[in-house]
């Protein structure tokens, strides 16, 4: 079965740090993606974790614990333009080269001045 | 622009009509995905192709939906006898998957917003 849980909404202040958590249960897990989606636009790729640990990319970092079925996205030095939905998406592998992304409902982040 | 493109961007139709959407992936990408997204939800997987072969279809894809990728390049998604519940954003994504089939980064197009009246 597939179950992805992330907070529905979060609010943070410009310049602050925010952590968006995601827990998941999938079969055939083969990595986890985070996407950013501004209202009315398509999702854009932020990060990919396949091994345990922290991946840092500028102001954004993503962490994965495979044994705990847990990931988080860390956003530093928040800017107003970071107001968007953040989608947690484990990759489910069916076997061989077949598989696809399973998206959570997303966390809507509002950055206030 | 060499990203994923979709056409049309918006479509308004009456219930019972057929609609067809087109997706042009990034040129060297061999995988093409279709998703549907409604307000407040994440994208829901519909189907995907590797080259011209349709490898997976979600149970969400009723028999009114059909997708093709005849030459392994662009793809079309057709919805027959549209219903109001079909109103959603239809997203296309593409990726490049090697022989090992490792997890692929999917790049999304801008989507086609369908409104069924």
In this structure, are strands A107-112 and A9-13 parallel, antiparallel, or unpaired? parallel
A35-66 per-position pLDDT tens digit: 999 998 999 999 999 999 999 989 999 999 99
Residue A35: left (phi > 0), alpha (psi -120 to 50), or beta? beta
Q: Which residues of A touch B42 (CB under 8 A)?
A: 87, 89, 103-106
SS3 B86: helix
Question: What's the mean pLDDT when you consider all of chain B?
Answer: 91
The beta-carbon neighbor of B40 closest among A97, A103, A105 is A105
pLDDT score of B65 more than 90: yes
Closest C-alpha among B35, B30, B3 to residue B109: B3
CA distances from B88 to A41, B15, B61 (A): 13, 14, 14
Judging contacts by C-beta atoms under 8 Å, the chain B residues touching residue A97 are 50, 97, 99-101
User: How many residue pairs from chains A and B have C-beta atoms closer than 8 A?
Assistant: 61
The answer to whether A100 contacts B56, with C-beta atoms less than 8 Å apart, is yes
Of B40, B42, B105, the CB nearest to A48: B105
Residue B56, Cβ density class (10 Å: 0-12 exposed, 13-18 middle, ≥19 buried)? middle
Q: Does B72 contact A at CB distance below 8 Å?
A: no
For residue A45, the chain B residues in CB contact (below 8 A) are: 105-107
B2 in helix, strand or coil? coil
Task: Pick from B43, B57, B99 the residue to mutate for testing the A interface (most A CBs within 10 Å).
Answer: B43
Is it the case that residue B7 has pLDDT exceeding 80? yes
Question: Tens digit of pLDDT for each residue in A66-109?
Answer: 999 999 999 999 999 999 999 999 988 766 656 788 898 999 99
């Amino acid at each position: 079965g597939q179950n992805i849980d992330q907070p529905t909404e979060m609010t943070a202040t410009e310049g602050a740090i925010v952590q968006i958590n995601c827990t998941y249960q999938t079969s055939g897990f083969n990595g986890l993606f985070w996407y950013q989606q501004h209202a009315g636009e398509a999702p854009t790729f932020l990060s990919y974790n396949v091994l345990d640990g922290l991946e840092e990319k500028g102001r954004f970092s993503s962490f994965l614990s495979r044994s705990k079925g847990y990931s988080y996205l860390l956003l530093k030095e928040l800017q107003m333009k970071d107001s968007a939905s953040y989608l947690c998406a484990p990759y489910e592998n069916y076997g061989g080269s077949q598989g696809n992304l399973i998206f959570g409902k997303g966390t809507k982040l509002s950055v206030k001045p | 622009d060499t990203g994923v493109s979709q056409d049309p961007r918006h479509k308004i139709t009456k219930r019972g009509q057929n609609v067809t959407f087109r997706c042009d992936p990034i040129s060297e990408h061999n995988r093409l995905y279709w998703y549907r997204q409604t307000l407040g939800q994440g994208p829901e997987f519909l189907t995907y192709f590797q080259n011209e072969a349709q490898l997976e279809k979600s149970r969400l894809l009723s028999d009114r939906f059909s997708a093709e990728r005849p030459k392994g390049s662009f793809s079309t998604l057709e919805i027959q006898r549209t219903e109001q519940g079909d109103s959603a954003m239809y997203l296309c994504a593409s990726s490049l998957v090697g022989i090992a089939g490792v997890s692929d980064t999917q790049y999304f197009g801008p989507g086609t917003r369908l409104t069924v009246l």
